[in-house]
Amino acid sequence: MLSNNDIKFIRSLSQKKNRDESGLFVVEGEKMVSEALSSDYTVEKVIYMDEIGEERMSRITQLSSPSPVLAIVRKKDHKPLTIECKGLYLALDSIKDPGNLGTILRIADWFGLNGIFASTDSVELYNPKVIQASMGSLFRVQLQYVDLAQILEDARKSLMIFGTFLHNASNIYKEKLDKNGIIILGNESCGISQEIEKKVDKRLYIPNFSYSDSCSPDSLNIAVAAAIVCSEFRRISV
């Protein structure tokens, strides 16, 4: 049975400062808990609705409605993500939306990327919305928060740096791509920052095929763009 103090503590993990202090985060749902238990993360506690009742489960859930199972998981101290001369990586420049980051993790997992580098001002990995959107990929894809400009500068010695842009770039469908490299994805509103743009070796864009010139969308969602770009890079290695 959960005490009121237990409930208060679990509820507190919805806030970043409490996740940072405790080193713990919450995952919910049968699939997500199963993924956590199968991973190399440490699961501290598993709580089942059948055991505590729907009323108490509704008090600790971070979702709109309680799921049958919830787990408290310890954050993992990853080994530093190293850049090899071969491999495909993503670099995230100030990604703010947790749903986007979670989906990008899932995309990186699907396409077998070697890892993700994220600027330190990007959304937190253990944000509840990131966790849910990742659908378990959080437990398989390594993401490291870094000084992105420095990492890219160092990486240019061994890998090509590709940047995704809306203008003044090469059509990704006509460009000869490399199966190795780092793909930069920029902020949802502002795109790639000027500092990071200076590190780009090859500028790419996804062409707009809209039939309407007057009211076509001005951009793609960043996670959608990530899926298209990763698919193109992987297609050449098949």
Model confidence over 84-130: pLDDT tens digits?
Answer: 778 999 999 999 999 999 999 999 999 999 999 999 999 999 999 99
Q: For 13-36, write each residue's pLDDT tens digit.
A: 999 999 999 999 999 999 999 999
With contact defined as beta carbons under 8 Å apart, do 93 and 185 qualify? yes
Name the CATH code of domain 88-235 (choices 3.40.50.12280, 3.40.1280.10, 3.20.20.10, 3.40.50.2300).
Answer: 3.40.1280.10
Percent of the chain whose predicted confidence (pLDDT) is above 90: 83
Point out the least confidently predicted range of 4-18, 35-49, 79-93.
79-93
Cα dihedral 83→89→95→101 (10° resolution): -120
Domain ranges for the chain: 4-74, 88-235
Tell me the C-alpha distance between 158 and 201, whole Å: 12
Cα 178 to chain centroid distance, Å, stands at 23
Give the count of beta carbons closer than 10 Å to the beta carbon of residue 62. Answer: 20
- Strands 115-119 vs 143-146: parallel, antiparallel or unpaired: parallel
Query: What are the E-state strand segments in 5-123?
Result: 24-28, 42-48, 69-74, 88-92, 115-119
Fill in the amino acid letter for 139: F
Point out the least confidently predicted range of 1-5, 7-11, 70-74, 136-140.
1-5
Same fold, 4-74 and 88-235: no
192-196 CB contacts, 8 Å cutoff, 24+ apart: 192/93, 192/163, 192/164, 192/165, 193/93, 193/94, 195/149, 196/91, 196/93, 196/119, 196/148, 196/149, 196/152, 196/163
pLDDT at 10 over 80: yes
Any idea what DSSP says for residue 191? B
Could you tell me the pTM of the whole model?
0.93
Tell me the C-alpha distance between 95 and 101, whole Å: 7
Question: What is residue 87's three-state secondary structure?
Answer: coil
Output b/e per residue, 134-155; b: 16+ Cβ within 10 A: bbbbbbebbbeebebeebbeeb
Tell me the C-alpha distance between 159 and 176, whole Å: 15
Residue 110: exposure state from Cβ atoms within 10 A (0-12, 13-18, ≥19): middle
Tell me which CATH homologous superfamily contains domain 4-74. Ribosomal protein L30/S12 (3.30.1330.30)
Q: Which is nearest to 107 in space by CA: 234, 223, 237?
A: 223
